[in-house]
């Protein structure tokens, strides 16, 4: 009895760490005092990282501390391509009352 085997695409899990440094420009002068950045995984919708609050000066905002995002990507052994992993970056404003 012969069996026909279907070749299964082999994928390898690779752990990667991204270092993300943010800098915003062209911010309106009025009403924008402090900003923060949220980093959200698109597949689960969960917040994975968030920067601290940063002051807006002369229409620019720079965050001193980077975000480190560790994730596992799937890599096809034949094509050496990585599967997509999507994230949403949201810039939020801190309200001061």
The model carries a pTM of 0.74
Backbone φ and ψ of 21, nearest 5°: -115, 130
Residue 79 is assigned to a structural domain of this protein: yes
48, 38, 72, 46 alpha-carbon torsion, rounded to 10°: 50
Instruction: Give the pLDDT of the chain (97 residues) as one tens digit per residue.
Output: 555 555 555 788 999 999 999 999 999 878 888 999 999 999 999 999 999 999 999 999 999 999 999 999 988 888 888 888 999 999 999 876 6
Residue 2 is assigned to a structural domain of this protein: no
Residue 37 is assigned to a structural domain of this protein: yes
Please count the structural domains in the chain: 1
Residue 79's domain comprises 11-94
């Amino acid at each position: 009895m012969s069996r026909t085997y279907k070749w299964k695409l082999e994928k390898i899990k690779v752990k990667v760490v991204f270092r993300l440094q943010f800098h915003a420009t062209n911010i309106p002068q009025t009403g924008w005092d402090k900003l923060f950045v949220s980093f959200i995984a698109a597949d689960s919708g969960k917040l994975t990282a968030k920067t601290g609050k940063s002051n807006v000066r002369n229409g620019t905002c720079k965050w001193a501390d980077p975000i480190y995002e560790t994730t596992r990507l799937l890599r096809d052994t034949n094509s050496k391509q990585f599967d997509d992993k999507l994230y949403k970056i949201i810039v939020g404003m801190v309200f001061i009352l």
